[in-house]
């Protein structure tokens, strides 16, 4: 990936369906070309198996919302010249990752300005 020093870059988070490892069917080499063409950083966090990108109310070591929406993006901001506002951040995902993308975007509206879901399980109402 080519990082252009003169400009700030957008951060695009792609939540994977970790049960299958799918990121939407695009080979990583194609993602890299898109990132270079459109000046994006593409971040693909490992959601572990079946966590749905949530912080577990039962196991305090499963903090996937905190990791993906806060800690990981803070690390990216510290190491790359990003747009550090919701206007410079998008999130999407496939299947479980699609659920995670919408869930994280709705719960972290100060962090993500755009969200998408591809075949995501979107029944995310709190019970």
**What are the sequence ranges of the domains in the chain?**
10-115
Average pLDDT over residues 23-29: 53
Joined tokens for residue 64: 């996937």
Q: CA-to-CA distance for 103 and 96, rounded, in angstroms?
A: 10
Joined tokens for residue 120: 């995501």
Backbone φ and ψ for 94, nearest 5 degrees, come out as -115, 135
The string of pLDDT tens digits covering residues 32-76 is 888 888 888 888 887 677 778 899 899 998 899 999 999 999 999
Q: Tell me which CATH code domain 10-115 carries.
A: 3.40.50.1820
pLDDT at 26 over 60: no
| pTM, full prediction | 0.81
pLDDT of residue 89: 93
Give the β-pairing of 40-43 and 10-15. parallel
């Amino acid at each position: 990936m080519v990082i252009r020093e003169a400009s700030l870059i957008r951060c695009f988070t792609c939540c994977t369906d970790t049960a299958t490892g799918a990121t939407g069917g695009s080979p990583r080499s194609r993602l890299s070309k898109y990132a270079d063409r459109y000046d994006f950083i593409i971040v693909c966090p490992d959601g572990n198996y079946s966590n749905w990108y949530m912080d577990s109310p039962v196991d305090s070591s499963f903090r996937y919302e905190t990791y993906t929406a806060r800690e990981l993006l803070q690390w990216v901001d510290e190491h790359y010249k990003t747009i550090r506002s919701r206007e410079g951040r998008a999130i999407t995902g496939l299947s479980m990752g699609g659920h995670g993308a919408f869930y994280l975007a709705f719960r972290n509206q100060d962090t993500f300005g755009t969200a998408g879901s591809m075949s995501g399980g979107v029944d995310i109402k709190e019970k």
